[in-house]
Amino acid sequence: MGDVRGFLKVRRKEAAYRPVCERVKDFEEVAVPTPPKDAEYQASRCMDCGVPFCHWGCPIGNYIPEWNDMMFKQDWENAFKMLASTNNFPEITGRICPAACEQACVLGINDEPVTIRENELSIIEKAFGSGMVKPNIPERRTGKKISIIGSGPAGLACADQLNRAGHSVTVYEKDDRPGGLLRYGIPNFKLDKKILNRRIDLMAAEEVKFISGVEVGKDMTLDDIMRKSDAVCLAPGSGRPRDIDIEGRELEGIHFAMDYLTQGNRIAAGEAIDPREAISAKGKKVVVIGGGDTGSDCVGTANRQNAECVVQIELMPKPGECRSEDHPWPMYPTLLKTSSSHEEGVTRDWSVFTKRFTGSEGKIEKLECARIEFSREGKDKCPVMKEVKNSGFCIDADLVIIAAGFLCPITEKLLSGVRVDLDNRGNIKTDANMMTGAERVFSAGDGRRGQSLVVWAISEGRRCAHSIDKFLMGKSFLPVM
């Protein structure tokens, strides 16, 4: 390492955010870019540890100590090359990844871990800003045609890798523009769509073909695509939201998070929305059900729409601020997270069970809730949820956003007439090589793995590309992860 004592000299310093009073007035990114010199200092904290567990924590196996060392030595070009060798979209993960690598950082055992995610972002933005990132068109083409269905992170990563191998790749997207969850599920204040467009434009310049506004299974069949492709990758994402099937669910003013966030992203992009279909928090008492990242994004969106107040409730108990015995280092711990959206204004509550929705004239007015507790009972000691006696209470609401996660991909139309099996959770079933029951049809991402992180979707796409390349060519020089 450039400075083996760097971690003793430099304290962890995270990226700053724009002032709350300023950022809630727009949908611009909330984070302030870290100056290169500060990033170099932070990179110096990376220790010369014997076993870098950050590799273990990262689903795509980023060469973290290596590019931290190069950053500190101001060798930004080689740092970029090292980063790009394992991560197709560091400008995206550098903004929205929860950084499991940092929780596995050896320095984190008795100190604050290295700012790995922010260092990653500094490298790729330096690379774009300095002209290091250029279209890299393969010198030869294999003559093989591959179709990718779905342009989320898994589909894009798979397409990028297969294009690098010299195959001709076409990506189909049911929405009007590619990007999937990255475009319509993540608000601009976390991921500005200019960043996504920059990457997709680069891939298009490298001759990846994008066809938007085509829903496979409706506008054309999967069988149609199979007939003109040597291989197909299904990357539909996990699009079926988990509902709350309780009394009053039919009341007006209750919406799924993805419907709310998608519309918010479209409005931010300048699209006109039919007033009769608009989901707005302006002047309303908003309740977000679900304490995860999606729920947090809904909180931030509601604040920017000038909600009267925002309440976020979570079924599970409030996490601790320190590691518990259940999640020792280097495991990813369940910790209390306070996002930039939470800092902008929200009342958070945990161990809350929603029993019914009530209202009048067909519109939501209240949530009837109760406190719950979890106890471990029986031989398997699995947690059992119980309602706390006499703990009922109500929350006023004009708008309810359900952010309770996702169940599985929506496949009824997509897989019609093709022998692709589903597992017991409704996800696309594959073998160890990520091939489905239909020969030449592979699958990757949340639609195969189940709801997960963007970095896992990228890993899935890269693995699937390796399997497709090996299937078509007999061997593959693409990395397995």
Q: What is the pLDDT of residue 132?
A: 97
Q: What is the pLDDT of residue 379?
A: 66
Fold (CATH) for 145-239+407-473 = FAD/NAD(P)-binding domain (3.50.50)
From 297, 295, 298, select the one nearest 316 (Cα to Cα): 295
| Spatial distance between the Cα atoms of 171 and 307, rounded to a whole number of angstroms | 38
Mean pLDDT calculated for residue range 138-144: 97
Q: What is the pLDDT of residue 4?
A: 84
Q: Quick one: pLDDT band at residue 1, thresholds 50, 70, 90? A: low
Q: Quick one: pLDDT band at residue 378, thresholds 50, 70, 90? A: low
The model's pTM: 0.95
pLDDT tens track for 58-74? 999 999 999 999 999 99
Residue 20 has pLDDT above 90, yes or no: yes
User: In the CATH scheme, what is the homologous superfamily, with its name and number, of domain 244-404?
Assistant: FAD/NAD(P)-binding domain (3.50.50.60)
From 395, 356, 406, select the one nearest 250 (Cα to Cα): 356
The b/e string for 368-395 (b: 16+ C-beta within 10 A; e otherwise) is bbbbbeeeeeeeeeeeeeeeeeeeeeeb
Residue 334 has pLDDT above 80, yes or no: yes
Burial of 6 (0-12, 13-18, 19+ CB in 10 A): buried
Rg (CA), the chain: 23
CATH number assigned to the domain with residue range 6-129, chosen from the 4 options 1.10.1060.10, 1.10.10.10, 3.90.1200.10, 3.30.460.90: 1.10.1060.10
The 10 Å Cβ neighbour count of residue 270 is 6
pLDDT tens track for 185-231? 999 999 999 999 999 999 999 999 999 999 999 999 999 999 999 99
Distance of CA 14 to the CA centre of its chain: 21
Q: Quick one: pLDDT band at residue 171, thresholds 50, 70, 90? A: very high
Residues of the chain with CATH 3.50.50.60: 145-239+407-473, 244-404
Residues of the chain with CATH 1.10.1060.10: 6-129
Write down the mean pLDDT value for the chain: 95
- Residue in this structure with the two tokens 């971690």, named with its chain if needed: 7
pLDDT tens track for 318-330? 999 888 888 889 8
